[in-house]
Amino acid sequence: MGKPSLSFIIPFRDDDGTRTAVKEWIVARWTHHFPDAEMIIQSDDGGMPFSKTLAINSGFARTTGDVVGILDCDVWIEPEHTREAVNLIGRGKAPWVRPASKVYRLNAEATARLIAQDPLVPFPPRQRSDFESIRKVWGLLHLFPREAFEAIGGYDPRFRGWGGEDWAAIDAMDTLWGHHVMLPHGLYHLHHPRLSNEAGESVWVGQTTRNVDLRRRYSAARDDPEAMRELVMEGHRQQPGGERD
């Protein structure tokens, strides 16, 4: 593969009006730094809660890039780290790549200051007071050759709401395509409002525990290609539509 072409899929639906400003700022920034990349912003089927998996699958059908990135609408990583990941894939040095191992989650005040500026400003230095947490990365940005997505048949449409879908895709792609390479970089996750669930925990709009059992099945099938292939096929046979407003 020569210099690979790049497509980003940004699954997005703003159910409560709190996500659009950050999304527009982030998309403008990514578009500036990757002007030749496809930037596909894709919603789902309108069911409740939001289905990131259906949005990703629909978005993938619109891509043409050799390398595809699943990018959350509120995430930034320095361009050279993304290019490093794409280059590894293009040279056949990695089956697919998670380009960061740590996420710096900005608080509301730091996010508001940031998006009040031009999207092209240099990202501010990391200051602990700007972050509500610093954690290991679970999803947020994955980069892979399009054949890897085809190998797993896309994301499992049984996942609805936020929770479990990224880890299931990691297990499926590692098992059916090849184990990913994780790079030792950090990425930024801009703030968006949260709610309190019945247990008093802080959760995002649409975050749910409904996916826990399915997520565990993917974990159990990891590194067992036959079991993983059957689990993936099962999901795509069922194709649930979700509840409608």
Q: Give tens-digit pLDDT for 46-92.
A: 998 889 999 999 999 999 999 999 999 999 999 999 999 999 999 99
Go through the chain and tell me how many residues it has.
245
pTM for the full predicted model: 0.91
Residue 34 has pLDDT above 50, yes or no: yes
Measured between alpha carbons, how far is 96 from 129 in angstroms, rounded to an integer? 34
Sheet of 75-76: strand order equals: 75-76, 186-189, 102-106, 131-136
Beta-bridge mates of residue 41: 10
92: tokens are: 């056949």
Pairing of strands 97-98, 102-106: unpaired
Confidence at residue 169, expressed as pLDDT on a 0 to 100 scale: 97
Please give the share of the chain, as a percent, with pLDDT higher than 90: 78
Mean pLDDT within 140-145? 98
Beta-bridge mates of residue 142: 70
Per-residue pLDDT tens for 184-237? 999 999 998 765 555 555 444 555 677 899 999 999 999 999 999 999 999 988
Confidence at residue 243, expressed as pLDDT on a 0 to 100 scale: 41
Confidence band of 16 (pLDDT split at 50, 70, 90): confident
Highest mean pLDDT among 25-34, 45-54, 120-129, 132-141: 25-34
**DSSP string of 155-212, one letter each residue:** S-TT--SBSSHHHHHHHHHHHHT---EE-S-EEEE----EEE-TTS-EEETTB-STTH
Confidence band of 30 (pLDDT split at 50, 70, 90): very high
* DSSP letter assigned to residue 124: P
Measured between alpha carbons, how far is 147 from 84 in angstroms, rounded to an integer? 19
Q: Return contacts of 168-171, CB within 8 angstroms, 24+ apart.
A: 168/214, 168/215, 168/218, 169/70, 169/142, 170/98, 170/142, 171/218, 171/219, 171/221, 171/222, 171/228
Confidence at residue 238, expressed as pLDDT on a 0 to 100 scale: 74
Please calculate the CA angle 146-149-155 and round it to the nearest 5 degrees.
145
Residue 113 has pLDDT above 70, yes or no: yes
The residue type found at 32 is H
Mean pLDDT within 146-155? 97
DSSP, collapsed to helix, strand or coil, labels residue 34 as coil
Measured between alpha carbons, how far is 82 from 107 in angstroms, rounded to an integer? 24
Q: Which alpha helices (DSSP H) does the chain contain, by range?
A: 20-33, 52-60, 79-90, 108-115, 146-151, 165-176, 212-221, 225-238
Measured between alpha carbons, how far is 26 from 56 in angstroms, rounded to an integer? 18
